[in-house]
A and B are shown apart, each in its own frame.
Chain A
Amino acid sequence: MSDKFIDIQQVAQSFKTKKGPFLAIRDINLTVAKGEFVTLIGHSGCGKSTLLNLIAGLALPTQGLLLCANREIAGPGPERAVVFQNHSLLPWLSCFENVYLGVERVFGASSKSTGAPAETKPQLKARTDAALALVGLTAAAHKRPNEISGGMKQRVGIARALAMEPKVLLMDEPFGALDALTRAKLQDELLDIVARTHSTVVMVTHDVDEAVLLSDKIVMMTNGPAATIGEVLTVDLARPRSRVELADSARYLGYRKAVIDFLYTRQGHVEKVV
């Protein structure tokens, strides 16, 4: 497999505002290998989410090129599934139906690219059940999103994304709105799921511990506007990782310190930069 599963070349993105164009990110060069877990970290407004939206295809870059599996990213698609920050489940559908919606679209019709035939309804239902089982929500399958907790909603969001068997899982601060204990639990679950599915993940976060715990590579971004990649830190910790054992591992603490140094010493003075 290619080392450059996702290949971002000289990407810049600006937005039109009333005061003229606003350059959000510039000169972004990044590659993500297959099966790699990459986190984007930086202060608010540094364009992390902008970059993620570009990879998702929800926005198109004003300059540069984004490739996924050697094909240009021209729009959103199920091979690059997104877990949204606010889960974005459809409130009028049950958890099962929310997941099924994506499964049906991806596997319910015969695939042009792989030639796979359309799957039958029982097969689609089995896929949906399996995805819900993966995140431990079999019991809540027929509940509506407003009947379950925030952590459970986020897990449904992850199940919906994973059920489509995406090439890349894109996560936009997926645990940002959760309390610390739920967040830790979901991080552990995510580690477990990623280990089993060998997913390629790009995740936006502003939590240093989350970044070090989960990532193979931490992409640290400078402050916006006109943000770019300041530094890329390779996290060389053996998997499976356990948060309890890592808590006093010198290397873990070293990585943690490196990220904190970048964020609060070199990029700490947001006001001065702006």
Chain B
Amino acid sequence: MVSAVFHSPLAAPDANAPSATGVATQPPALPAAVPSSTPGRTPVSWGAPGWSLLPPLVGLGLLVLVWEIVSVVTKGSIPSPWETWLQAVHLFSDPFYRKGPNDQGVGWNVLASLQRVALGFGLAAAVGIPAGFLIGRFEFLSRMFNPLISLLRPVSPLAWLPIGLLVFKGAHPAAIWTIFICSIWPMVINTAVGVQRVPQDYMNVARVLNLSEWKIFTKILFPSVLPYMLTGVRLAVGTAWLVIVAAEMLTGGVGIGFWVWDEWNNLNVKNIIIAIFVIGIVGLALEYALIKIATAFTFEEVKA
């Protein structure tokens, strides 16, 4: 996926071990001020201003280089980075225009897709999270629903699209239905697992203090399940954003997925590449926002 390319710049500063190339950046007169975990060696702090940007920029540069080579080798049927850049500048100078139902600015398309994701995902959260709590809390429900979840979860979300079209008689609700069905599973499963993994010690505390069901839920169950739940939410949003593009290609209308397909029909490859970047950046932003929310509500490290 294109978004994977965008993940690496975030991870790179931590992944790189200190090397000798950046010695000059450290003021030698202040050894005590150097944050170092390996005394005896002069480490390169990739977190220092200037250096922290280098690895991600090298990564992006590599992408552009490969792209340029592909563009040259294919004799321009894949447009060069520079041409695409000019087109992007032109495109984003007016992202919110409307010239009829099939010709709208890229901004409208992104917003339309985000709206579908928000609706489908919101409905899935409203159903999936309470369902997860119930399945996690009651053994009977867990045994009852586990076979169903195991059966339905591996189904490609797009396979649900015809059912949605049939039931809801419209492309827009069918797309929302597809998002709903694909983003509900991670939330149900993670919430249920979280409830099942509430430490027995905490439940013993609840029993000894003889807490009411409501207090158990608000003071023990909910806070300890929250990290699991937010992981589920993160997975769900990621999946929803993957699926919406494909769903919109099939349903048409307004949306970033439809826009990609429309530009393919126009043989406008530059716009397709721009769309890929837009999808990646929006996905990255969603992921980043949810990690921020998760860390704010979590008492352990959020496992990425």
The CA-CA distance from A52 to B209 in the complex, in Å, is: 16
Chain A contact residues: helix, strand, loop or mixed: loop
CB of B223 closer than 8 Å to a CB of A: yes
Smallest CB-CB separation from B223: which chain A residue? A92
Q: Find the residue from B202, B205, B211 having the highest chain A CB count within 10 A.
A: B205
Per the 8 Å Cβ criterion, residues 133-168 of A in contact with B are: 146, 164
Chain B contact residues: helix, strand, loop or mixed: helix
Contacts A91-B299, A101-B219, A105-B215 given; indicate if A78 touches B204 (C-beta within 8 A): no
The CA-CA distance from A76 to B210 in the complex, in Å, is: 7
Tell me the count of chain A residues lying within 8 A, CB to CB, of chain B: 22
Contact of B210 with A86 in the complex, beta carbons under 8 Å: no
Contact of A76 with B299 in the complex, beta carbons under 8 Å: no
- B255 shortest CB reach to chain A, Å: 40
CB of B220 closer than 8 Å to a CB of A: yes
Per the 8 Å Cβ criterion, residues 201-218 of B in contact with A are: 201-202, 204-205, 207-212, 215
* Chain B residues with CB under 8 A of A91: 299
Contact of A76 with B215 in the complex, beta carbons under 8 Å: no
* Chain B residues with CB under 8 A of A81: 208
Tell me the count of chain B residues lying within 8 A, CB to CB, of chain A: 16
* Chain B residues with CB under 8 A of A84: 201, 204-205
CB of A117 closer than 8 Å to a CB of B: no
* Chain B residues with CB under 8 A of A77: 208, 210
The CA-CA distance from A2 to B216 in the complex, in Å, is: 35
Smallest CB-CB separation from B297: which chain A residue? A92
CB of A219 closer than 8 Å to a CB of B: no
* Chain B residues with CB under 8 A of A92: 223-224, 299
Smallest CB-CB separation from A146: which chain B residue? B299
Contacts A84-B201, A146-B299 given; indicate if A90 touches B219 (C-beta within 8 A): yes
- A84 shortest CB reach to chain B, Å: 6
Q: Find the residue from B208, B220, B299 having the highest chain A CB count within 10 A.
A: B208
The CA-CA distance from A146 to B220 in the complex, in Å, is: 16
* Chain A residues with CB under 8 A of B208: 56, 58, 76-78, 80-82
Contact of B209 with A101 in the complex, beta carbons under 8 Å: yes
Q: Kindly supply a per-residue 1/0 record for chain A positions 84-106, scoring 1 wherever the CB is within 8 Å of any chain B CB and 0 otherwise.
A: 10101011110000000110010
Contacts A58-B204, A90-B220 given; indicate if A101 touches B215 (C-beta within 8 A): yes
* Chain B residues with CB under 8 A of A58: 204, 207-208
The CA-CA distance from A102 to B205 in the complex, in Å, is: 9
* Chain A residues with CB under 8 A of B299: 91-92, 146
CB of A176 closer than 8 Å to a CB of B: no
Contact of B204 with A88 in the complex, beta carbons under 8 Å: yes
Report which A residues bind B (CB closer than 8 A).
56-58, 75-78, 80-82, 84, 86, 88, 90-93, 101-102, 105, 146, 164
Offer 22 A-B interface pairs, CB within 8 angstroms, sorted by A: A58-B207, A75-B207, A76-B207, A76-B208, A77-B208, A77-B210, A78-B208, A78-B210, A81-B208, A84-B205, A86-B201, A88-B205, A90-B205, A90-B219, A90-B220, A90-B223, A92-B224, A105-B210, A105-B211, A105-B212, A146-B299, A164-B209
Report which B residues bind A (CB closer than 8 A).
201-202, 204-205, 207-212, 215, 219-220, 223-224, 299
